[in-house]
Amino acid sequence: MNAYGYGFDPLYGMVLVVFALSMLVQFRVRSVFKRYATVLSRNGYPAAHVARALLDARGIYDVRIDRARGTLTDHFDPRTGVLALSDDVHDSSSIAALGVAAHEVGHVFQKEDGYMPMRIRQSLLPVAQIGSYAAFPLFLLGIFLSMEPLISVGIAVFIAVVFFYIVTLPVEFNASRRAISALADGGYLTAGETGPAKKVLSAAGMTYIMAAIQAMLQLIRLLAMSGRRRS
């Protein structure tokens, strides 16, 4: 019997397998980035310079480019209008750095264009942040106290988390497509350099796929546990 008295839970085993695969994907991302971080672009401009140039070319002057501590901590915050590039990216002119920087610029373009999946993701962000921490405690507390409303709230909150992960997929892949197009059109990467840049961004994109799969499995597990409890 497991902790909930339902016997062996194969779904939990699947969650662990996907988690292990996610760790492998993370390793691959770092490996691919490290590989192309040593290959300098022919253009020679540092990533922060390229990001600024791409924004200026679109007439976007109110986005500030900052430095973010750490490795692969690059991000764009639509709420503050800050595009942060990590230590390994900011001053580097490598193909990997330019790809990552342009990807974040792609998110800025999405905001400017009113890209619907990004708007949906931003609206879900507060609930997803809370739900990531609160959903399971609420669900388990509901089981422990035999309180159906708590169980239902826990599931409902986690559904919002899952939807956040799902809508993140088009946001991230669209930003990568915008990045490659902007770098090629602007002459910052040659035809031979766009392939490696795509590899870096594709590897990063797999992390979002694995996160979405893991979240969906967790939701299926919660629904199965709730259904077994009622039967």
Domain residue spans in the chain? Answer: 11-230
Contacts of residue 88, defined as CB under 8 A and 6 or more positions apart, other chains included, come to 33, 37, 71, 72, 97
* Tokens 């629904």 found at: 223
The torsion region of residue 92 among left (phi > 0), alpha (psi -120 to 50) and beta comes to beta
Q: Is 76 exposed, middle or buried (0-12, 13-18, 19+ CB in 10 A)?
A: buried
pLDDT in the model for residue 206? 96
Q: What is the mean pLDDT of residues 132-138?
A: 88
Q: How far apart are CA 127 and CA 164, in angstroms?
A: 9
Confidence at 1, pLDDT banded by 50, 70, 90: very low
8 Å CB contact between 219 and 162: yes
Q: Give the catalytic positions in this structure.
A: 104
pLDDT tens track for 155-180:
999 999 999 999 999 999 999 999 99
222 has a pLDDT exceeding 60: yes
Angstrom distance (rounded) from CA 142 to CA 226: 10
**Taking residues 12-30, what's their average pLDDT?**
87
The H-or-E segment that residue 93 falls in is: none
Q: Which of 56-60, 119-123, 126-130 is least confident?
A: 126-130
Closest CA to 97 of 55, 41, 27: 41
